[in-house]
Structure 1
Amino acid sequence: MITLQQRSIAHFDLDCFFVSVECLKDRSLIGKPLLVGGQSDRGVVAACSYEARRYGIHSAMPMKTAMRLCPHAIVRSGDMEKYSMYSRWVTDIISRQAPLYEQSSIDEFYLDLTGMDKFFGAEKWTKALRERIILETSLPISFGLASNKLVSKVATNEAKPNGQLVVPYGLERAFLAPMKVEKLPMVGKETAAQLRRRGVETVQTLSEVPVQLLEAWLGKHGIALWNKANGIDETPVVPFHEQKSISTENTFHADTIDLHFLHGELVRMTEKIAFELRQQNKLAGCITVKIRYADFQTVSRQMTIPYSCADHVLLEKVKELFTKLNDRRQLIRLIGVRFSHLVQGNYQISLFEDTQEKIALYQAIDGIKNRFGGDALMRGVNVEQHNERKHRKAGVLPFYKPERYLKEVAKTRPYVS
């Protein structure tokens, strides 16, 4: 029987993904300091080339700061639609070859190759897959192969750019030992600073600290950190097809054709599940809108979109789908919105046209919703409907506005008077 410690886990990571796609579009950019992000003074760096990193530039840095560090850097605004297309292309290649894979972000994948040594050899198979991806897409990609997800990811980072690294079973701890603690995933500047103040700078030193002491220093995070330092990670590879969608729907108190009301509901539902996306640090690649008419006929329509979790991006697509779908001009009893094709990622990667203010705005909105609840902030179009829902829950019927209903009906059924 194969134990968890004897697994073979490969981690693939597309190197400087956005930058690499830009270089495919324009070969003259290869080897030059390239920034992808907002081009205004208020813009933000979403990605940068290795050449730009030598000047101290990193993602999430204000574009103005980056240009001060490297005045001759080339800036591209970014093309999320193109990046999503290449991501799906690589995903398709992996899905055709791998027995079990997990897409952990728009440009990262984990593959469980346990048991493959009996047939082809996990290392040989992984190298062949990397070569196939490079041959078909022309994108540089690195991989690490080890007994668990943690070590394979660290190995990938060590193999970059455009390389490969295998950590044999049993050598996980020795591989990690000489590294700085920041090399471990999820160890940020603050945690690293706390450890340094206590004399812990390398992974080896961290692994030798008693786990009870680490727990006293860092709480439960200290236990997880001790496991990482010792190369222990039993996290499974979650099959991509098991990644769940996020959805919501609403059956109305009375069937309606009031477009003002329906659009308000779409805004409310989209904001609600977009907030859930950001809370789970996920991006959606597909939107589905569902309508159920008064005669109970149900129709739906979906659209593949560039990966996003931003309200203003998702809402535009939701409204577009609803407009195309609602062609019967009949009373509606239910509408629903679903986001699917979920991958790990955050709002930052789609900020090519956004500013620092917009980043701060989303962070502030989510902070308020986390503290006071999802209804603490909403667009103005939803205020009236929110109050009506509160009245209904309290048993108080809102003032009915028949003129709005008749006005909407008259637009689509002029024979009604």
Structure 2
Amino acid sequence: MIPDAPGRIRRIVHIDMDAFFASVEQRDNPDLRGKPVAVGGSSLRGVVAAASYEARPYGVRSAMPSVRAKRLCPELIFVKGRFEVYRAVSNQIREIFARFTPLIEPLSLDEAYLDLTDYLEGRTATAIAQEIRALIRLETGLTASAGVSYNKFLAKLASDQRKPDGLYVIPPEAGPGFVLTLPIARFHGIGPATAARMERHGIRTGADLHRQSLEFLTTRFGKAGRYYWNIARGIDDREVRPNRERKSIGAETTFFTDIHDLAAAAGALEPLAEKVWRHAGPREVSGRTVTLKAKYTDFQIVTRAHSQPAPVMSQAELLAQATALLPQVLPDPRGVRLLGITLSSLCPLPQGPQPEQLDLFG
């Protein structure tokens, strides 16, 4: 445990909306309630942007090709994404957060960290998290899950424990032991590729990671090795930073099945562009450089970038620029196992009318 100062333990809450996009659609259209719903991905080459909880038992997940999702769940209902609505609801939820603390770090439209340490006013962080969840339900008609702990890493893990519509607390004395029981794939900050590398070294659980020395981890995983060593012990001293300055905003995904053709790759870029754009939205920033990242099946990574004098003005423009870079990485006989989009050379997003966005989910 790393307190900010001797004897000082932080109170961090992670709020995560439950199936946010799909839940908004079910809220606004009663005919969708209780049914398996996918936002986006209705075209043959489309990709699911979000899935309702009713669709998940069938194996439907975000970033899944729509053809596969429909095959897994023949009753799946595809709904066009309404990202302007999701942004408006997200702003409504953040206004609720601001009633309790100014220290809010949005991660996306549907999740954020809150530091309540200096804003408890005689209450517990758990009680405040419960009140926030109740207000979200009352004012938006949606449910949220919350995790409460003494650092960001554990708070985020906790918010996943009782989804949907749940709350879970990891107190300081339980943090290190809680980490030991989890599969590595559950750890925030360890993606599928890193988890696979760790498994090749016999690291499958938090306990396995805890047994590794700092030297072993830094030798094999570079600078990230110290982060892995810390979280295996329930240690995370990162602050909640509401105004953190970022040099870039990116998103990437690793595929279960390697991609070999441009059409499939273009479809896979749609949810990535959406994710990058919704991360940029709360910060009211854009960028002048779009970078496409591709990792081939032999793990070689290539990047291709396009820069322009003016910032990207819409999600559709971001997607178009990334898609235009695809012919520089595909086709390739090796196939692609990962794609990513990064927006850099960040600058404030110009105010005023913006170009109408294309129909990405038709």
TM-score by length of 1: 0.60
1:98 Cα shift? 2.0
* Paired residue secondary structure (2:64): coil
Rounded to whole Å, the distance in 2 between the matches of 1:239 and 1:285 is 11
Aligned length: 287
Partner of 1:155: 158
Partner of 2:280: 283
Greater percentage in helix: 1
Root-mean-square deviation (Å): 3.8
1:65 Cα shift? 1.4
* Paired residue secondary structure (2:160): helix
Partner of 2:131: 128
Tell whether the 8 Å contact from 2:288 to 2:312 is kept in structure 1 after alignment: no
Rounded to whole Å, the distance in 2 between the matches of 1:79 and 1:174 is 42
Partner of 1:145: 148
* Paired residue secondary structure (2:281): strand
Partner of 2:357: none
Rounded to whole Å, the distance in 1 between the matches of 2:131 and 2:146 is 11
1:211 maps onto 2:193 in alignment? no
Q: 1:364 aligns with which of 308, 326, 332?
A: 326
Rounded to whole Å, the distance in 1 between the matches of 2:174 and 2:283 is 41
Rounded to whole Å, the distance in 2 between the matches of 1:52 and 1:97 is 34
1:47-126 pair list within 5 angstroms: 47-116=50-119, 119-126=122-129
1:76 Cα shift? 0.3
Rounded to whole Å, the distance in 1 between the matches of 2:164 and 2:287 is 29
Rounded to whole Å, the distance in 2 between the matches of 1:142 and 1:185 is 16
TM-score by length of 2: 0.69
Tell whether the 8 Å contact from 1:142 to 1:163 is kept in structure 2 after alignment: yes
1:4-403 pair list within 5 angstroms: 6-116=9-119, 119-240=122-243, 282-284=279-281, 361=323, 364=326
Tell whether the 8 Å contact from 2:179 to 2:206 is kept in structure 1 after alignment: yes
1:93 Cα shift? 1.5
Which ranges of 4 or more aligned residues in structure 1 deviate by more than 3 Å? Answer: 115-118, 242-246, 285-288, 308-312, 336-340, 357-360, 362-368
Q: Which runs of 5+ in 1 are unaligned?
A: 247-274, 289-307, 313-335, 341-346, 376-417
1:3 maps onto 2:5 in alignment? yes
* Residue 363 to residue 73, structure 1, CA distance change in 2 (3 Å): farther
- The C-alpha deviation readout for 1:304-327, integer Å capped at 9, x for no partner, is xxxx88999xxxxxxxxxxxxxxx
Q: Which runs of 5+ in 2 are unaligned?
A: 249-272, 291-308, 331-339, 346-362
* Residue 217 to residue 118, structure 1, CA distance change in 2 (3 Å): same
- The C-alpha deviation readout for 1:229-277, integer Å capped at 9, x for no partner, is 211111111125x66799xxxxxxxxxxxxxxxxxxxxxxxxxxxx9x9
* Paired residue secondary structure (1:125): helix
Tell whether the 8 Å contact from 2:287 to 2:311 is kept in structure 1 after alignment: no
Amino acid at match of 1:211: L
Range moving further from structure 2, 24-33 or 105-114? 24-33
Tell whether the 8 Å contact from 1:284 to 1:339 is kept in structure 2 after alignment: no
* Paired residue secondary structure (2:280): strand
